[in-house]
Amino acid sequence: MTAITFDTYKFIRTLKAAGVPEGQAEAFSEAFKEAQGEAELATQHDITDVRRDIRELEQRLESKIDKVASDLKVDLIKWVTGALIAQAAVIATLVKLL
């Protein structure tokens, strides 16, 4: 994260020019400087990093989803094959009985 540069002298001069007493202008300047120091701003680099992280996460999720889908297809094929073999066995038994 980055900080914004702040010209306290110019800020105080501007307030004094607007009629704010010097003591108050200095207090306002200090309060603003402290509040600004607590704020964290994202740089373009930070945003680029977050976008890259999101793309990497998306690729990992897609890979896992593809693997699960593939595993489900294999399981489904095995189940259907087993069911067909069972049906064939039942039909063969019925044919023998007739």
pTM for the model:
0.46
Q: Convert the pLDDT of each residue in 13-44 to its tens digit.
A: 999 999 999 999 999 988 888 877 766 777 89
Q: Per-residue pLDDT for 83 more than 60?
A: yes
Q: Which residue has the higher pLDDT, 57 or 97?
A: 57
CB within 8 A of 40, min separation 6: which ones? 1
Q: What is the pLDDT of residue 69?
A: 93
